[in-house]
Amino acid sequence: MAAHRRQPGGADGRVREQTGSPPATQCDNRAVTTSTTDPAATISSTTTETGPDRSALPAAATSRAVIDLEAVAHNGRLLAQTAGVPWMAVVKADAYGHGLGPIALTALSAGASWLGVAQLAEALILRALLDEAGVARPVEEPSGQAPRVLSWLLPVMDPARAACEDSPLRAALKADLDLSVSTLSQLEALVAAARAQATTARLHLKVDTGMSRGGAMAEDLPALAAALRRAVDEGAVDVVGLWSHLSRADEPTSGSTEEHLVRYRQAERIVREAGLTPSIHHLAATGGLLWHPEARMDLVRAGIGLYGLSPAPSVTTGAELGLRPAMRLESELVQVKRIDVGQAVSYGGTWSAPTDRWVGLVPLGYSDGVPRAASSTGPVGIGGMMTAIVGRVCMDQVVIDLGPAQDETGSSLPAPAQVGDTAVLWGAPDALGQEAVPTVDEWAQACGTINYEIVTRLGARIPRCYVGAGAGGDYARP
């Protein structure tokens, strides 16, 4: 029987679809999570002969983000099939909040031959995780067994600092990282580090093709390309890549991507005239690889799509693309109470009970990444009931409406949920319609933002609990 939503706030109920609860779990309450070589093999079962074992969930935790690694692998394979070229798993920002180590290793198992992060600090952490997991460093062409790692935001430093023994740029070269360069000052620092390290830096020249963010401007490119050629002749650097980023790939009919491509080809000509011959050209992230085949080039960068979310739900939803959401944020109710009609809820009294109501307390707040913009709007599922946050989101907790405490005749109604019941903030919809599960896209719409922000801002104190094929058993909900 399909679940029907009670209407605690007077809004219409909806029936959701979901793939069901994924099997088994391993929880990690660190922001940057680790794993070993085989992601599936490392996820220990939490099921005993007598039932689920909650030992994988840190004993003091009341909430969790359940991360479906099989969904991640599925999404990676699907995007790779669409692109038809090698792909980079973009795992910046703790893998968009999903956990760096497990996601990186899952992506490699699904066929990624590159891993990409923004900040150099996270690239060094990633390299350490890969080394710990026994993942080889590539000697020739990268592969899932020996991937390349690219970092594109480097700390600012002068050549003297870059050459110091404890320089982070020297650490990057020791870690065999590919690095991005966009300015002469960056190049000077990288050359100094390479000289001091007695090695050759692998560089990707980033050009600005219309984003007006990172990347060399057209007027600066000839001088930068000439300087790069001199550094190549010296043996200090090897320019292996030419890349850029699309500003409106999620607007397929805007014409913007076509303008980017024209500027990219112009930059490519300047680079070639300087005597540089990068072998890897990459421009497309998820939106580009989905909707702009001409932007796929030699390598694509799978970011938001890897996590089961569409870069433009208004164009094509993740479900329509065949993607599977990988994150489910859930928590137990820690208190259920009855309040009188007119009683204000949370700071500022911005919401008051329209009738005698049942409300529940969920121990998640803006310190955990729940946007304050979700006040009196963020959807929450409890069993088969879809409801919402009422009142303002607090630092560590929110209140949700559980519906009326009296019927039309004035008779008391029992609470529709109890302490310990699971509240789901977002996840993959329930295919059987028995559980109300809001989606990340619904949260983004409610908060006036994008799905990227909803998952990426999830706080470090929320344990990530990993499920997926090969784990076995059923994960224990809070």
Q: Minimal CA–CA distance to 178: which of 233, 114, 128?
A: 114
Q: Which helix (H) or strand (E) holds 451?
A: helix 451-456
Residues annotated catalytic, as ranges: 92, 347
Kindly list the strands in the beta sheet with 464-467, ordered across the sheet, starting from the edge strand earlier in the chain.
Answer: 26-28, 464-467, 63-68, 327-332, 422-426, 379-382, 385-390, 398-404, 357-362, 335-339
Q: Which amino acid is at 142?
A: P
- The beta-strand segments (E) located in 143-200 are 148-153, 178-181
Q: Minimal CA–CA distance to 154: which of 131, 129, 128, 177?
A: 177
Rg (CA), the chain: 25
- The beta-strand segments (E) located in 201-313 are 201-206, 237-243, 280-282, 300-302
Give the rounded distance of the alpha carbon of 463 from its chain centre.
15
Residue 5 burial (10 A CB sphere; 0-12, 13-18, 19+): buried
Classify 106 as helix, strand or coil.
helix
CA gap 168, 124 in Å, rounded: 9
Q: Minimal CA–CA distance to 54: which of 30, 35, 29, 26?
A: 26
What is the DSSP code string of 186-207? HHHHHHHHHHHHTS-EEEEEEB
Give the rounded distance of the alpha carbon of 244 from its chain centre.
20
How many DSSP H helices and E strands does the chain contain?
14, 22
CB 312 within 8 A of CB 78: no
CA gap 207, 20 in Å, rounded: 44
Q: Taking the chain, what is the end-to-end CA distance rounded to the nearest angstrom?
A: 24
Classify 88 as helix, strand or coil.
strand
Q: Minimal CA–CA distance to 477: which of 432, 421, 435?
A: 421
CA gap 296, 83 in Å, rounded: 7
Enter the tokens of residue 309. Answer: 């979310």
